[in-house]
Amino acid sequence: MKKDNRSHILIRYGVIIVLILLLSARIVMKLCDTTIIDADKWNHRANELLSQSKVIVPPRGNILASDGSVLATNLNFYTARIDYRAEKFNEKLFRDTIDHLAARMAEYFPVRDAAGWKKHLLNPLDKVREKRPRAYKLMSGLSHTDMEIMRTFPFFSIKNRNRNGLTFEKYMRRFNPYGDMARRSIGGVGETTESKEIHGISGLEKALDSLLYGKIGYSKMINLTKKITDWTDVPAIPGCDIVTTIDINMQDIVESELNNVLDTCGADWGVAVLMDVRNGDIKAISNLERNPRGEGYIEARNRAVMGYEPGSVVKTLSMMIAVEDGLIPDLDEVLPTGGGWAYAGGRPITDAHHSASIRVGDVLEQSSNIGMARIITRKYNDNPGAFYSRVKSLGFLEPMNTGIAGEVPPRFDSIANDRGGRIALSRMSYGYATEIPPLYTLAIYNAIANDGVFVRPRLVKEVKGAIDSVMPISYMGDGRACSQRTAGILRQMLTNVVWGDHGTGRFLRNNTVRIAGKTGTCYMIENGSYNQNKKRLAFCGFFPADNPKYSCVVLTCHPTKNYFGAATTSGQVLRNIALKLYSRGMLGNSSDYRSKTPSNEAPTFYASAMGRKAYDKVKSEFLLPSHRALKSPVTTSKGTLPDVKGYSLREALVALETAGYNISYSGSGYVRSMTPAAGTKVPRGSRVRLVLAN
């Protein structure tokens, strides 16, 4: 019996040994096949894998304001997820702590209340374990700070993520720290359909994409002694940083004032551009339109570079050519106007402000269509096409290349020398039968304010990268729109539009900042004809009138309530911008306050120098409240200074400037003290000094 058992065991061992030998033989054969017979094929495949290049996407450059403030940058964000099938997921502890966890989530991430978070977190547990999600989404768009805070919550604070299932996916997103401020001009980015790369799709992001994107790099796998690793073959070159001409404070003022007037008059949309007279720097640009999905106005298409019939604001261009070319040697010449003028047999040209005649020097002041057409046609009647050539010779039809995507040049059609051409000529002279982007209109007014120097508007000041490059000031045409003498005459004419006895801009008079400019009204074309009930209202000008520092153009489309004139809508925006700049000391005016009123600024206190109770009392009286508990605006009796301590700077400026005071401030954060003291009887127009502290 023992002998039989031993035989069976030996047979089994023998079978196993044979199988091992066969397997070993197979391994040896395969080894020979791989390393000797098919060695070339496998070496070729390995070389193919090792030689494959992977694209390294370069970091996109930043877009900066003129003072270096970031307008657009790349930031890392995170998406929080839970793996409910993690190997050691502690379901019992999760259920025990769910109420505390939901409460903390609701406190820091109030997209849901505590009950909503509890339901959201428990939903996956209703399924059997095998069907529970492995990457259940909690939230997207988390900052690094948000991520760290979430890791301190009950259950999520477990260090082993295999027990709580919490994971974070990192991704990069283009971020605008100032929100919608100048959003259309800054632009946006998106994925291209061709390569799935992220490129600019609008605004500066698109126009300067080649600079912002940088140059892609390449990497490949290499075989080191101990491992195969990724090796950078050609390093990626980061995109350049673009320094714009935008001034954050001015941008805030322009957007706020445009929004306020649009809201007051119920307009469809509006655009405003503020420019530095001397160098053409666009300090602020805002495009707003009705929110199609709710209340108020939102950033819209960049209409500053889109062509529109300009209306009477273009009379300034016609008048500048007439003065420069000697068509009106005598400003006191009187032109007949009457009830209308049927030039070249066309439909009679009429004036909104009817009079039997008009002085040449008053044509802009009273915005006379007949007067402007009579002046221009006296030279170009026999050769209308020469007017187009004259406009072109200024450089007015050149591309500006400001860096704003979607920019188009003006459309001034070359006019045929026939009756139709003469009619078109007369219409062009006062703002019809042509299309001009607001930025081009602004450039002409800016040249007049700048003694005839035709500076090119620019939105890009500097490019920072491997080689820094400062963008020089450049000029349209030969650098001059007109002579210094002509510019002086036009400045006086535009000043009379506001300050003259019959000026169409008399509504804009104020004794703080003298404004010069021109109103413009144009009916809108619908279904091939002019709609008499819809107007596009413009005002273009500069300030202060006697020493221009800034030029500005504003368009308001189809107001429906309260205000319906060019001066009361677009002009009011410009006036309010000028007054806000003055009140903040941005027009070269002194921002110092001189008064015998004692300051109520808080002294510096130290807890070590007094008892804790005394220190807390002093602190409560003088130091800032938390940003979660800011004071609401309070009403004060007429003529007394509102109390804005504890306000943010923007809230304080709105409250005080609405009350009629000029503001200067120092520091940053929230209002800590104000001089004169709140409640003091202070005349409107007085200066109030604010001290801010974080």
Q: Which residue has the higher pLDDT, 549 or 526?
A: 549
Alpha-carbon distance of 258 to 556, in angstroms, equals 9
The C-alpha atoms of residue 346 and residue 341 are separated, in whole angstroms, by 9
Q: Which two tokens stand for residue 622?
A: 């003088």
DSSP letter string over 398-420? Answer: S----S-TT----B-PPPPSSHH
In this structure, of 149-153, 355-359, 493-497, 589-593, the range with the lowest mean pLDDT score is 589-593
Nearest CA-CA partner of 240 in 203, 196, 210: 210
189-191 and 166-175 as β-strands: parallel, antiparallel, unpaired? unpaired
Decide if pLDDT at 625 tops 60: no
Element (H, E) at 368: none
* Mean pLDDT (whole number) for 250-274: 94
Neighbouring C-beta atoms of residue 290, cutoff 10 Å = 18
Task: Report which DSSP code applies to 669.
Answer: S
Within the chain, what is the greatest distance between any pair of CA atoms? Answer: 144
Question: In this predicted structure, what is the pLDDT of residue 83?
Answer: 93
Amino acid, res. 75: L
Lowest mean pLDDT among 65-74, 202-211, 441-450, 551-560: 202-211
d(CA 666, CA 668): 7
- Tell me: pLDDT of 629 over 60: no
* Higher pLDDT pick, 117 / 228: 117
Count helices and strands (H / E) in the chain. Answer: 21, 25
Mean pLDDT along residues 98-125: 92
- The yes-or-no verdict on residue 375 having pLDDT over 90 is yes
Distance, in Å, from the CA atom of 524 to the CA atom of 557, rounded to the nearest integer, reads 9
pLDDT given for residue 420 in this prediction: 84
- Which helix or strand (DSSP H or E) is residue 382 part of? none
Between CA 179 and CA 48 the distance in angstroms is 47
Decide which of 590 and 671 is more confident. 671
**pLDDT at res. 609:** 35
Per-residue pLDDT of 216-240, as tens digits, reads: 888 777 766 666 677 777 888 888 9
* Beta strand 241-244 pairing with 63-64: parallel
Query: At which residue do the structure tokens 């001189």 appear?
Result: 594
DSSP string, 21-45: HHHHHHHHHHHHIIIIISHHHHHHH
Highest-scoring range by mean pLDDT, 137-146, 183-192, 398-407, 515-524: 515-524
Q: What span, in angstroms and rounded, lies between the C-alpha atoms of 410 and 200?
A: 25
Q: CA quadruple 401, 404, 405, 411: dihedral positive or negative? A: negative
Cα distance from N-terminal residue to C-terminal residue, the chain = 98
pLDDT, tens only, 491-517: 999 999 999 999 999 999 998 999 999
Whole-number Cα distances in Å, 82 to 156, 193, 258, 357, 534 = 10, 32, 46, 81, 56
pLDDT of residue 48: 65
The Cα 449–Cα 204 span in angstroms is: 27
Confirm if 690 and 652 have CB atoms less than 8 A apart: yes
User: Given this model, what pLDDT does residue 153 score?
Assistant: 94
d(CA 362, CA 493): 7
β 355-359/334-338 pair status: antiparallel
In a 13 Å sphere around the CA of 395, the CA atoms on its Cβ side amount to 19
Q: What is the distance between the alpha carbons of residues 609 and 619, in angstroms, rounded to a whole number?
A: 13
Query: What is the spatial distance between Cα 576 and Cα 513, in angstroms, rounded to a whole number?
Result: 10
Packing angle of the helix pair 572-583, 248-265 (nearest 10 deg) = 140
Listing DSSP states for 409-462 in one string gives --B-PPPPSSHHHHHHHHHHHTT-S-BB-HHHHHHHHHHHHTTTEEEPPBSEEE
- Give me the pLDDT at residue 630, please: 37
Query: Could you identify the residue written with the tokens 């820091």?
Result: 108
User: What is the mean pLDDT of the segment spanning 437-454?
Assistant: 97
User: Rounded mean pLDDT of 642-654?
Assistant: 77
HSE (side-chain half, CA atoms, 13 Å) at 563: 22
Span 406-421, mean pLDDT? 84
Report for 143-147, 337-341, 389-393, 614-618: range of highest mean pLDDT? 389-393
Q: Tell me which of 87-91, 220-224, 415-419 is least confident.
A: 220-224
Q: Shortest CA distance to 273 belongs to which of 69, 495, 432, 437?
A: 437
Residue 246 is predicted with a pLDDT of 92
**CB distance 128 to 54 below 8 Å:** no
How far is Cα 388 from Cα 512, in angstroms, rounded to an integer? 40
Is the per-residue pLDDT at 565 higher than 50?
Answer: yes
Could you tell me the sign of the dihedral formed by the alpha carbons of 592, 252, 109, 60, in that order? negative
CA angle 445, 451, 457 (to 5 degrees): 50
What is the per-residue pLDDT across 451-496, written as a single tens digit (0 to 9) for each?
999 999 999 999 988 777 888 899 999 999 999 999 999 999 999 9
Q: What string of DSSP letters covers 179-241?
A: TTTTHHHH--EEE-TTT--EEE-SHHHHHTHHHHH-B-EEEEEEE-SS-EEEEEEEPPBPPPE
What are 285's two structure tokens?
A: 């640009």
Please give the share of the chain, as a percent, with pLDDT higher than 90. 46
Query: How much is the average pLDDT of 385-412?
Result: 89
User: Measured between alpha carbons, how far is 275 from 250 in angstroms, rounded to an integer?
Assistant: 10
Q: How far is CA 607 from CA 71, 488, 625, 673, in A?
A: 40, 64, 18, 21
Mean local confidence (pLDDT), 45-49: 66
Q: Give dist(CA 123, CA 120) in Å, integer.
A: 5
Place of tokens 């504003």: 554
CA distances from 583 to 114, 590, 689 (A): 47, 10, 11
Residue of 272, 300, 306, 301 lying closest to 286 (CA atoms): 272
What pLDDT is stored for residue 1 in this prediction?
Answer: 55
| Cis amide bond preceding 154, omega within 30 | no
Cβ within 8 Å of residue 28, ≥6 positions away: none
pLDDT of the residue at 475: 94
Residue for token digits 């080649």?
A: 210
Question: How many of the other CB atoms lie within 10 Å of CB of 609?
Answer: 8
